[in-house]
């Protein structure tokens, strides 16, 4: 079976310097990959690179076009819109239909008509994660998805994630919290920390070009 994402020899840069290099992994339907590593090693950078927000310095990412949904540190919510309106907007941007299922699965039912500025931080996060369900995309790229969630919500999200994987999805997750997904693979990024710039490689930015 074809992998959903195949990453080969990837190098990513932050602040004009290579942060990680030589990262390779493949991800098939039903698999989750948890990125581990100390703060500042480049987990967010790697995810943004996979999402296509940042340029690839070296190596390549093979994935079906428009197969990923990205969830970063910020939830992308509009405070003036209600929970349903926020979700409906993302659903129509991604060309999907109803939002009722996503609201029910992230336990947002009682809050559906509430404007987003009246939600607590954890509730906002739940809404942000519910957005993933309305994208209809198979590969989820999650950057610290459980920030400000209580343990019940973490368990709820783990259930949603498991359902997504069972339905043929996949996920790349940067997190320090155990999500209760024993089947997830771990990828420790520490060995991929970029070394000193080698001669003859393409400069990632000004800071490498003038080293």
Characterize 32-70 residue by residue with b for buried, 16 or more Cβ atoms within 10 angstroms of its Cβ, and e for exposed. bbbbebeeebbbbbbbbbbbeebeebbbebebeeeebbb
Q: What is the dihedral of CA 124, 103, 136, 48, to 10 degrees?
A: 10
Which of 189, 201, 139 lies closest to 167, judged by CA? 139
**Minimum CB distance to other proteins, residue 2 (Å):** 22
**Minimum CB distance to other proteins, residue 21 (Å):** 14
**Minimum CB distance to other proteins, residue 170 (Å):** 16
* Cβ-based nearer residue to other proteins, 30 or 205: 205
* Cβ-based nearer residue to other proteins, 90 or 157: 90
**Minimum CB distance to other proteins, residue 80 (Å):** 4
Q: Footprint of other proteins on this chain (CB under 8 A)?
A: 15-17, 48, 51-55, 66, 68-81, 85, 88-90, 92-95, 131, 135, 203, 205-211
**Minimum CB distance to other proteins, residue 92 (Å):** 4
* Cβ-based nearer residue to other proteins, 50 or 108: 50
**Minimum CB distance to other proteins, residue 168 (Å):** 20
* Cβ-based nearer residue to other proteins, 69 or 161: 69
* Cβ-based nearer residue to other proteins, 62 or 155: 62
Please work out, in degrees rounded to the nearest 5, the angle formed at the alpha carbon of residue 2 by the alpha carbons of 51 and 58. 40
Distance spanning both ends of the chain, measured CA to CA:
44
* Cβ-based nearer residue to other proteins, 122 or 180: 122
């Amino acid at each position: 079976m074809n992998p959903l994402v195949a990453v080969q020899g990837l190098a990513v840069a932050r602040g004009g310097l290579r942060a990680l290099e030589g990262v390779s992994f493949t991800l098939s339907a039903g698999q989750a990959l948890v990125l581990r590593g100390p703060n500042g090693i480049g987990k967010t950078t790697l995810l943004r690179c996979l999402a296509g927000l940042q340029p690839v310095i070296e190596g390549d990412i093979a994935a079906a076009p428009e197969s990923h949904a990205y969830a970063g540190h910020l939830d992308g919510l509009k405070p003036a819109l209600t929970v349903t309106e926020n979700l409906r907007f993302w659903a129509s941007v991604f060309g999907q239909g109803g939002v009722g299922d996503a609201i029910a699965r992230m336990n947002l039912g009682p809050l559906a008509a509430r404007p987003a500025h009246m939600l607590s931080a954890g509730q906002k996060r739940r809404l942000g994660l519910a957005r993933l369900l309305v994208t209809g995309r198979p590969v989820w790229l999650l950057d610290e998805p459980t920030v400000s969630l209580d343990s019940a919500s973490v368990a709820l999200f783990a259930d949603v994630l498991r359902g997504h994987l069972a339905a043929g999805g996949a996920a790349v997750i940067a997190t320090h919290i155990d999500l209760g997904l024993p089947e997830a693979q771990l990828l420790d990024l520490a060995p991929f920390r970029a070394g000193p710039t080698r001669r003859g490689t393409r400069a990632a930015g000004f800071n490498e070009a003038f080293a």
